[in-house]
Amino acid sequence: MITTTQQKTAEAIVNIFETSEVRGNYGDVTLIAGDTGHLTFGRSQTTLSTGNLHKLLDQYCANAGARFGATIKPFLPRLKDRDTTLDTEAYFQNVLRASADDPVMRDTQDVFFDERYWQPAASSAASEGVVTPLGMAVVYDSHVHGSWTEMRNRTRTAVGTVAAAGEQVWISKYVATRREWLATHEREDLRKTVYRMDALQSLIDQDLWSLALPMVVRGKEISMASLTASPVGCYDGPQPGTRLIAVQTPLARGLDVRLAQLGLSKRKVVIKADGVFGPTSSRLVREFQGQKGLPATGVIDASLIAELIS
């Protein structure tokens, strides 16, 4: 059995592949041209078209403590129907971004992705006789990214079983087989993901079968510090109304900014609720203030944020 730290390291490698962050980006919302998954969300990028996005959000809404549960719940029927118009539903996508600030959402994602991806990957690895942490990372990546069974069968045809070839030989062949498959795939979006196999091959070349820390994957350091750091782009403060929000240096970031942006989005303002108050956010606030007959300052004070989050 691998240790908890080795498991978290394997997961971090795939988090980097998925969202470029060691802890993953719990609020990441992505839509890639040509991706049959359509709208994707979260630390391990669960998709609309598979129905997994509905399952994740349904699980979140079932928690009585879910901060955004009441906001997301009306979208559940459309998610269940795999309604692809959600690909362009800006307010819904901003709600997803904001939900990452809720520890309940982050915990829900961790449990969901463990059940959907890590546990099946661990079962598959055990069935094949894959026991090294790096081997586990390779199997886990394919369960997240897809087509594990087909690639496993091709590798078996080429070199036999793990027991016959030896795990390091078998995993190396698997990575090479999957890279060729990705590089020649008819879908452009999959061809662009060969970097996953290149990164795994680099770890093989470094003989990092135990996933000893620290290591660098695609320019990101995985260490005990980065594995335990606060997730990127998640805010637990300041609380709305406790400060003026204006363009400043460095830029104002936080929960109050995110909720103000979400309130603007709810009112049909075209804005991304990223929790960062820059010149674009200030301009959109000025325009909103002008439409409401308020002084167009571009600054969010306590009264305005109270209106926006109502």
The mean pLDDT of the chain is 96
Q: Return the domain boundaries, the chain.
A: 4-227, 252-308
Nearest Cα neighbor of 236 from 254, 251, 220, 250 is 254
What's the pLDDT tens digit per position in 71-89?
999 999 999 999 999 999 9
Confidence grade of residue 45 (pLDDT, cut at 50, 70, 90):
confident
CATH topology assigned to domain 252-308: Muramoyl-pentapeptide Carboxypeptidase; domain 1 (1.10.101)
136: exposed, middle or buried (C-beta count within 10 Å: 0-12, 13-18, 19+)? buried
What's the pLDDT tens digit per position in 163-215?
999 999 999 999 999 999 999 999 998 999 999 999 999 999 999 999 999 99
Kind of pairing between the strands at 29-30 and 40-41: antiparallel
CA 16: distance to chain centroid?
Answer: 9
- What pLDDT is stored for residue 175 in this prediction? 98
- What pLDDT is stored for residue 31 in this prediction? 85
- What pLDDT is stored for residue 34 in this prediction? 65
Comparing 35 with 240, which gets the higher pLDDT? 240
The reply to whether domains 4-227 and 252-308 share a CATH topology is no
Comparing 226 with 44, which gets the higher pLDDT? 226
CATH hierarchy code of domain 4-227: 1.20.141.10
- What pLDDT is stored for residue 35 in this prediction? 66
- What pLDDT is stored for residue 87 in this prediction? 94
pLDDT at residue 117 above 90? yes
